Amino acid sequence: MNKSVLDKDLKKVVRLETAMHDLSLKLAAPGLAALFILAVLMAVLFSIPGGPFSYLVVIAAVISAYMALNVGANDVANNMGPAVGGRALTMAGALIIAAICEAAGALLAGGDVVTTVSSKLLSSDLDISTRDFILVMSAASLASAMWIHIATVLNAPVSTTHSVVGGVVGAGIAAAGFSVVAWPVIGTIVLSWIVSPMMGGVLASALLAVAHFTILDKADKLGAARRWVPIFVALMTGVFAMYLAAKGLSRVWKPDLPMVVGLGVVAGVAGYAAAVPWVGRRVPGLENRVKHVSGLFRLPLILATALLSFAHGANDVANAVGPLAAIVAAANAGVASPDQVPLPLWVLGIGAIGIAVGLALFGPRLIRVVGEKITKMNEVRAYCVALSAAVTVLIASALGLPISSTHVAVGAIFGVGLLREYHSNEIIRNPPLKVKVAEARSDQFNRTAEEAVKQLKGRDKRRLVRRRHALTIGTAWIITVPASALVAGLLYALMRLLPGG
């Protein structure tokens, strides 16, 4: 009896220890995030010069640190998710590559779009005090960070750019009325809800269709791979060379269009020359199967993912620290909405480090959603998603179309998933093939062809894309701007109660 009681007590102790261990793991990430925000607070508190708005700059720096964490937790998943879902990278490997490339992109080439975030959304004749301008930007940054945080909890990848736009618009309206907003810019944002995912989906599915036609559906897959994989690699290197020249390095280098195209051609030729012997060495050791041939896309996919992360860090760091840069410029100049918004290194550092920390602590959850929950990935599909994202951004930039990298990537994932679903259901639209499969199954399972056909009917409508994720993500996209705007307006009203006005 005593032994039975002792066993029960020991089981209770084990369950308690397990529960405490799980709780400590859940609290570790928020605790480390809080330490990062505290470190930013202390660093800014003891480093910025005194002035009438210095305390507001300190508050804005803390808000930007929180925003940077959320950008890392949500936005980076769009680049890393397909590679992880396609088993080209482990989660740990993806986090390491993304953290390094995101931080490098932010520090080396980030900040070129700070002026867009900080000034182009509001009219140039904005007539408010310097203090109110600082409060507008602070409220915008905090509101967008809160919305991205909520979206991350709901497993919805959203556009951090749109979130910041909504925040600036909402706080601007609360400060100076509806006339202060540059409404044509908001119109382009609404247009991008349709343009971005459609362009990404069409291009990604087109690339996947070409991969099937040239390699995956051939009888001699290895021979086709030897001919065509170097061409795919050349296309990737050329596109990403142009992508980095036009977008990722725009802060330190702004080449004209002929230079960008020429750089792409040179990089494409170099990529082809390097890929031919690389593929030639690997093909003899492979089996003539899709799974083995797909492995040839693994290294190109990893490189593409790293380059996307670099470009993302360069461009989207402004979403984390753009409002802070505008606040620092306004505080130094003593005027609202300054024409020039320089980007101090310490401001850029908050964004770069915060994005990397947020990715490491909170990124895996959304990476799994993007890479595994929408549709099944492999190396070829993930490669098509990454390449289509870069191509779409280049085309949209050349045409002057509004674009969201988040919407492009998610649209591309749905595009390859729907094409995969189409191929899987090809048996329905091809009766002769259906009969052949039925006969093969009848031989295998000792059934008549009629019985086998009847069995296949239950699988005629395979669904390989989870539509419910489309509804959740689409809803989050639509309400991002109004939700951020509403919260920012309320926060601005509360911030007006701070000392000093």
Per-residue pLDDT tens for 140-194?
A: 999 999 999 999 998 888 988 889 889 989 998 998 888 888 788 778 777 877 8
Output the pLDDT for position 233. 94
Q: Does the CA dihedral 2-8-9-14 come out positive or negative?
A: positive
Quote the pLDDT of residue 84. Answer: 92
The pLDDT of residue 421 is 84
Residue 490: its pLDDT value, please?
A: 96
Q: How confident is the model at residue 443 (pLDDT cuts 50, 70, 90)?
A: very low
Contact status, residue 388 vs residue 210, Cβ threshold 8 Å:
no
| Arithmetic mean of pLDDT, 136-140 | 92
Mean pLDDT of 238-255: 76
**Tens of pLDDT along 358-372?**
998 998 988 988 888
Q: Which amino acid is at 141?
A: S
Q: Are 113 and 326 in contact (CB under 8 A)?
A: no
- Comparing 202-216, 306-320, 417-431, 461-475, the range with the smallest average pLDDT is 417-431
Phi and psi angles of residue 122, each rounded to the nearest 5 degrees, phi first: -115, 150
**What pLDDT was estimated at residue 442?**
46
Mean pLDDT, residues 297-318: 86
Rounded percentage of the chain residues whose pLDDT exceeds 90: 34
Q: Taking the model in full, what pTM does it have?
A: 0.83
What are 122's strand-pairing partners? 181
Alpha-carbon Rg for the chain in angstroms: 26
Average pLDDT over residues 224-252: 85
Mean pLDDT over 394-417 rounds to 81
Instruction: Name which residue leads in pLDDT, 430 or 64.
Output: 64
What's the pLDDT score for residue 336? 66
What's the CA gap between 57 and 327, in Å, rounded?
7
Question: What are the pLDDT digits (tens) for 444-492?
Answer: 444 454 555 555 555 556 677 888 778 888 888 889 989 999 999 999 9
The pLDDT of residue 104: 84
Query: How far is residue 245's CA from residue 252's CA, in Å, rounded to a whole number?
Result: 10
**Comparison of pLDDT for 498 and 93, the residue scoring more:** 93
Which residues are CB-contacts of 444 (< 8 A; sequence separation ≥ 6)?
Answer: none
Q: Are 57 and 48 in contact (CB under 8 A)?
A: yes
Q: Per-residue confidence at 301, pLDDT binned at 50, 70, 90?
A: very high
